[in-house]
Amino acid sequence: MNYYVTTPIYYVNAKPHLGHAYTTIVNDVLARFHRLDGYDSYFLTGTDEHGDKIVRAAQAEGRTPREYVDQISSLFKAAWPGLAISNDDFIRTTEERHKTVVSRFMDLVNRNGDIYFGEYGGHYCFGCERFYTEKELVDGLCPDHQVKPEYVSEKNYFFRMGNYQDWLIDYVKANPDFIRPERYKNEVLGFLKDPLEDLCISRPKSRLTWGIDIPFDDDFVTYVWFDALINYISALGWPDGELYHKYWPVAQHTIAKDILKPHAIYWPTMLKSAGLPIYRHLNVHGYWQIGFSKMSKSVGNVVEALTMADKYGTDAFRYFLAREMTFGLDSEFSEDRLVERFDSDLANDLGNLWQRSLAMIKKFSGGLIPTGPEAEGQPDEPEWRGRAEDLISAWRLAFDSVNPRGAMTAVWEYVGLLNKTIDSEAPWALARDPEKAPRLAAVLARLAEGLALVSALFWPVMPATAEAMWTRLGLDPAAMSTDPKTIREKLASGRPPTVGEAFFPRIDAEGKAAGKAAGQGQAPGGTKAPGGTKAAEGAQAAEGGPGDGGGEPVGIDEFRRLDLRVAKVEAAERVPKSEKLIKLSLSLGQSQRTVVAGIGKRYRPEELVGRTVVIVANLAPAKLMGLKSQGMVLAATDPDGRLELLSPGDAAPGSKVS
């Protein structure tokens, strides 16, 4: 089984940003998913280097086009390893291998009678490098660049795209998932309701020399889109290349909605005219926006993708993008939202599952994953295995239909199920009853197997974390598998596991993660914090629950592990660049400590000095905005979300709260 996926080749007039990163990451995720699922997968990206736009960008920097494209293209090439992009090739349209194929392709279309020479006058937008019809302009302006196009009239070569209109309509209708999601298929059928004009595919050299020569006329170069689209086959060595024969029949392109028309209309008609098979799928996603406006270089709000990855880690950044955007729709990017997801999904759900499971394997099973017959002989084992199978099917279905968000949601539902299993099975209670030893072994085995399975399933999105988890589980990440039976066999013959450092130490433990724990009635006791120390998740539920205080019951032993203390606020100051965080210097009578609390939207620092508060004193330290926080302040949140610090009145600092 083969698989071939491509990104758009990016214009080199801008540095790589979040939008480019998203498409490239999604393609990488798809390529990795297929690799993991047994496909022979090929993944192409590259840069689009010809045309007016590039010449103007080079001039603006006082460089020759050649120098300029070399520099920016290398920025793209260098950016991808930092985002764990595993492309098999990187094509540049200024490479000889591409130019030769473009000439050959054009010759073929010409010989098939689909190119003619004619005069054309129209509204040309230099930003888009295309002519606009009157109807397409919005108030006389280019809809993308909001500038008035110039009226350009010249002799040029044209591709008889209109010849293929009926064929294309039939093709799109006969292959309902050719363009997906469906909204974009409908959009294309909408475009095709109007007659397709022929496509101007050349530029006179008198106006532009930075392009690929037209093989049958020395005075013209190729129009940049005609040149660019061909990259998808030139990189495979069309017409004779082995890669072409192997991968072109299964090609999929992933793009954003901005370049739907060239991909859904120009490209299939070009392929049809040249007598080549049509690609299989066009996967179209929406736009990342910032503050609900379109992100663009000119607006100046381009998020530096690589800075985000540096700040929060490549895997967390990839996870956020994959999990946050519904493929096909626009999404709002915000760093706050990223931090929230980081804390809730990665630090809380996954991180706690990891720490708790491994700590219990260490404590109750001598550090070895139980794999004996006890684990097999449980009456609910078939049902448990059925759930894993359901998860794998949901994951596969989601990725097959280009829905990374759905795939990750399915995996996180399973993470939730594993966390719940810990709470409901209470391995610490099972461990006290020798008769329950088989059940304890089965539960611990399920946790280890579950961790190996979920990490394999999120490998396409977070490869480094998944590989590290496999290694720490004593497994070989090079032989990663999503088959539960194979996982069980590997665990049976693997090395003893190691807990290690937390994978995702919380960023904003008090504010954001606590909010989620409370809001979802989650966070029952018994969670483990980074480093294996007992964490006060139970106290977080107390901090926020506007609900009925529900969630699962907490045993008294669990509750007693929390060390709740009275503390006096001696000093308070806002954490720079954070609306929410306040740094508190607390006295516990005999000792002092610093706690960074997410209460800055409710309290001013000066109101806090002199107050007594209740803190969870044995919470594992966390770093928040670079500051070490040693504990958590307890607060109540009413149904309107208003926060009130718990006040122990006159109790002396250091008093134990029970």
For ligand MSP (CB under 6 A), the number of binding residues is: 19
Report, in Å, the least distance between residue 174 CB and ligand MSP. Answer: 25
Stretch that binds ligand MSP, among 255-263, 306-314, 451-459, 495-503 (CB under 6 A): 255-263
With respect to ligand MSP, which residue has the nearer C-beta, 293 or 498? Answer: 293
Q: How many residues does the chain have?
A: 658
Q: Which is nearer to ligand MSP, 48 or 543 (CB)?
A: 48
Residues 6+ positions from 275 with CB-CB distance below 8 Å: 108, 112
SS (HEC) of 220-285: EEECHHHHHHCHHHHCCCCCCCHHHHHHHHHEEEEEEHHHHHHHHHHHHHHHHHHCCCCCCEEEEE
| Closest CB to ligand MSP among residues 20, 593 | 20
Q: How far is the CB of 500 from ligand MSP (least distance, A)?
A: 35
- Which one, 161 or 443, has the nearer CB to ligand MSP? 161
- CB atoms closer than 10 angstroms to residue 246: 14
Of 250 and 325, the one with the shorter C-beta distance to ligand MSP is: 325
Q: Are 555 and 525 in contact (CB under 8 A)?
A: yes
Q: Which is nearer to ligand MSP, 8 or 484 (CB)?
A: 8
Contact stretch for ligand MSP (CB under 6 A) within 151-159, 251-259, 372-380, 490-498: 251-259
**Identity of the residue, 22 or 247, whose beta carbon is nearer to ligand MSP in the bound complex:** 22
Interface map 443-472 toward ligand MSP (x if CB under 6 A): ------------------------------
394: contact with ligand MSP by CB under 6 A? no
Among 124, 226, 288, 312, binds ligand MSP (CB under 6 A): 288
Q: How far is the CB of 20 from ligand MSP (least distance, A)?
A: 5
Q: Of the listed pieces 161-169, 287-295, 548-556, 619-627, which binds ligand MSP according to CB under 6 A?
A: 287-295
Task: Lay out the site mask for ligand MSP across 98-137 (x = CB under 6 A, - = otherwise).
Answer: ----------------------------------------
Give me the active site residues, please: 17, 20, 125, 128, 142, 145, 294, 297
Question: What is the nearest approach in angstroms of ligand MSP to the Cβ of residue 11?
Answer: 4
Q: Which residues ranging from 178 to 237 are in contact with ligand MSP (CB under 6 A)?
A: 228-229, 231
- Applying CB under 6 A, which of residues 259, 468, 554, 657 lies at the interface with ligand MSP? 259
Kindly tell me which of 254 and 482 has the beta carbon lying closer to ligand MSP.
Answer: 254
- The distance between the two most distant Cα atoms of the chain, rounded to a whole number of Å, is 93
Nearer to ligand MSP, 301 or 486 (CB): 301
* Residue 256 beta carbon to ligand MSP: minimum distance, rounded to whole angstroms: 3
Give ∠ CA 114-116-121 in degrees, rounded to 5.
125
Give the range of 243-251, 254-262, 483-491, 508-516 binding ligand MSP by CB under 6 A. Answer: 254-262
Structure tokens, 651: 């109790």
- Calculate the dihedral angle through the C-alpha atoms of 478, 481, 484, 487, rounding to the nearest 10 degrees: -10
Rounded distance, CA 645 to CA 636, Å? 6
- For tokens 């990891």, name the residue: 354
Which of 455, 438, 445, 454 lies closest to 388 in space, CA to CA? 454
Closest distance to ligand MSP from the beta carbon of 288 (Å): 4
Residue placing its CB nearer to ligand MSP in the complex, 95 or 258:
258
Rounded to whole angstroms, the Cα distance separating 606 from 222 reads 68
Q: What is the pattern of x (binds ligand MSP, CB under 6 A) and - over residues 478-517? A: ----------------------------------------
Provide the strand spans (E) within 126-161: 130-132, 150-159
Residue closest to ligand MSP (Cβ): 19
CB-based burial, 252-270: b 16+ in 10 Å, e otherwise:
bbbbbbebbbbbbbbbbbb
DSSP annotation of 402: T
Block residue for tokens 């009678």? 113
Unique residue bearing structure tokens 């995720």: 29
Q: How far is the CB of 366 from ligand MSP (least distance, A)?
A: 50
Shortest Cβ 369–ligand MSP spacing (Å): 42
Least distance to ligand MSP from the beta carbon of 241, Å?
Answer: 19
Choosing from 255, 453, 475, 624, the residue that interacts with ligand MSP (CB under 6 A) is 255
Neighbouring C-alpha atoms within 13 Å toward the C-beta of 292:
0
The least distance separating ligand MSP from the CB of residue 312, rounded to whole angstroms, comes to: 19
> Using the rule CB under 6 A, which residue among 91, 250, 295, 388 binds ligand MSP?
295
Nearer to ligand MSP, 122 or 127 (CB): 127
Q: Is 258 in the site for ligand MSP (CB under 6 A)?
A: yes
Q: How far is the CB of 224 from ligand MSP (least distance, A)?
A: 8
Whole-angstrom CA distances from 560 to 1, 362, 542 are 56, 22, 15
Residues 314-373 that bind ligand MSP (CB under 6 A): none
The DSSP H or E segment spanning 476 is none
CB of residue 270 to ligand MSP, shortest distance in Å: 11
42-71: contacts with ligand MSP (CB under 6 A): 48
Which positions from 8 through 37 interact with ligand MSP, judged by CB under 6 A? Answer: 8-11, 19-20, 22-23
Tell me if 270 contacts ligand MSP by CB under 6 A: no
What is the spatial distance between Cα 615 and Cα 533, in angstroms, rounded to a whole number? 16
In whole angstroms, what separates CA 519 from the centre of its chain? Answer: 24
Selected binder of ligand MSP within 108, 137, 189, 256 (CB under 6 A): 256
Q: How far apart are the C-alpha atoms of 448 and 351, rounded to whole Å?
A: 14
> Rounded CA gap, 140 and 574, in Å?
50
Interacting residues of 157 by C-beta distance below 8 A, sequence separation 6+: 115, 116, 117, 118, 200, 201, 202, 214, 217, 220
Cβ-in-10-Å burial (0-12, 13-18, 19+) of 531 comes to middle
| Main-chain phi, psi angles of 10, to 5 degrees | -85, 145
DSSP annotation string for 49-71 = --SHHHHHHHHHTT--HHHHHHH
Is-contact 295 258, C-beta < 8 A? no
3-state SS record for 624-656? ECCEEECCEECEEECCCCCEEECCCCCCCCCCE
Task: Read off the tokens for 36.
Answer: 């993991």
Judged by beta carbon, residue 26 or residue 430, the one nearer ligand MSP is 26
* Residues of the shown chain interacting with ligand MSP in the complex, contacts defined by CB under 6 A: 8-11, 19-20, 22-23, 48, 228-229, 231, 255-256, 258-259, 287-288, 295
